[in-house]
Amino acid sequence: MKKLSLLVIVLVVLSQLIMASPAAAGTNVPVGTRLSLYVAEIEFPANTPFHIRHGWIQPSTDSAIGIFDFALDVDGIFQPDAYKWFSVISGDPDYLSRIWVFNFPAGMTGTHTFTGHWYAPCQYAVDNLGYTGTCPTPNLKVETNTRSLIVTFVP
């Protein structure tokens, strides 16, 4: 059963990669309208390009900066990001913007649930984000936030 599940996941990921338009492939540009996971439920035109982008903006003085991460699943299947948009905002301290972008150039049909997963180093999560789990090591990557958006794609 595990092998069958893995095969299905691999086939879904490959089909999404194949369906991406050549114009969008390799370009670090979000396509269409941004859909935010901070809304619970929306309707959106079917077969219309859109993107989802979320991540972290934090001071460069934070520890274990490389552990912070973001992932997106659609209907329980994790999606590959189109690209990561990392930049620095100069100041005292500097701020690091770390945003993951997921493009859907062909749009979608039907109703789907998009769930974002934010990850941080465990001790940082305890000290700053209200994480109540245990930390066997300070830099263990733990999920600190999850938000879901239900989108009904209408003709």
CA 89 to CA 92: how far, in whole Å? 10
Q: Which string of b and e fits 52-79 if b means at least 16 CB within 10 Å?
A: bbbbbebeeebeeeebbbbbbebeeeeb
DSSP tag of 20: S
Q: What is the pLDDT of residue 65?
A: 87
pTM confidence score: 0.80
Per-domain residue ranges for the chain? 33-154
Tens digit of each residue's pLDDT (9 = 90 or more) over 10-52: 323 323 333 344 444 457 999 999 999 999 999 999 999 999 9
Q: What is the pLDDT of residue 36?
A: 98
What CATH number should be reported for the domain whose range is 33-154? 2.60.40.10
Tens digit of each residue's pLDDT (9 = 90 or more) over 56-110: 999 988 888 889 999 999 999 999 999 999 999 999 999 999 999 999 999 999 9
**Using an 8 Å Cβ cutoff, are 88 and 97 in contact?**
yes
